[in-house]
Amino acid sequence: MARIITKELAVKIAQKLNATVTKSGAHDLAAVFHDGVLVASFGIRRGSEKDKGHDYIPGEIFVGPGFAKQLGQCPKSHQDWVEAMQEKGIIPKPKKEDGPSTEPAEPDATP
């Protein structure tokens, strides 16, 4: 099986998700926050090899390998990931603001 997520892509994913990266031992720990709440975190192996495997990252950011790859490359955006997390219930969906109803009023059934 070929490597799907390389170190280079892992770094790009962390950047795309605006992750806070802290150094820890042999890893950098990328912590992804949304509205001040930690949603996901994953380790990025240190080392100069750009093609080091990081195929475990998709599972840690709750997406499939294809989505993660697209996130690191370009087609998927941070917003796409947030929406995917909201669909999965990992990030709470934003509450709809109360406002004037746009739905037409039901006609009165009684004459």
Partner 1 sequence: MSEATQRIPRIAFGGLHIPTEPPPGSRICESLGMRAGEAWTWKEEQSPQWEARQEEAFRSLIANVAEFFVEQHTLAQLANRINGLEDLHRSDFGLLHERVKALEEQSQQRSIATCINSLELKGAKVAIPIPVAIHASGDEYIATFFDANISSGGDTPQEAFHNLCDILVAKITLLASLTPEQLGREPARQLAVIREFVAME
Q: Which residues bind partner 1 (CB under 8 A)?
A: 1-3, 22, 24-27, 29, 31, 34, 36-41, 43, 45, 52-56, 59-60, 62, 89-91
Q: Is the dihedral of CA 82, 52, 12, 23 positive or negative?
A: positive
Query: How many Cβ atoms from other residues are within 10 Å of residue 46's Cβ?
Result: 14
Residues 76 and 70: beta-carbon distance below 8 Å? yes
CB of 79 to partner 1, least distance (A): 17
State the virtual CA torsion across 102, 106, 107, 111 in degrees, nearest 10: -150
CB of 83 to partner 1, least distance (A): 15
Between 62 and 67, name the residue whose CB sits nearer to partner 1.
62
Between 36 and 94, name the residue whose CB sits nearer to partner 1.
36
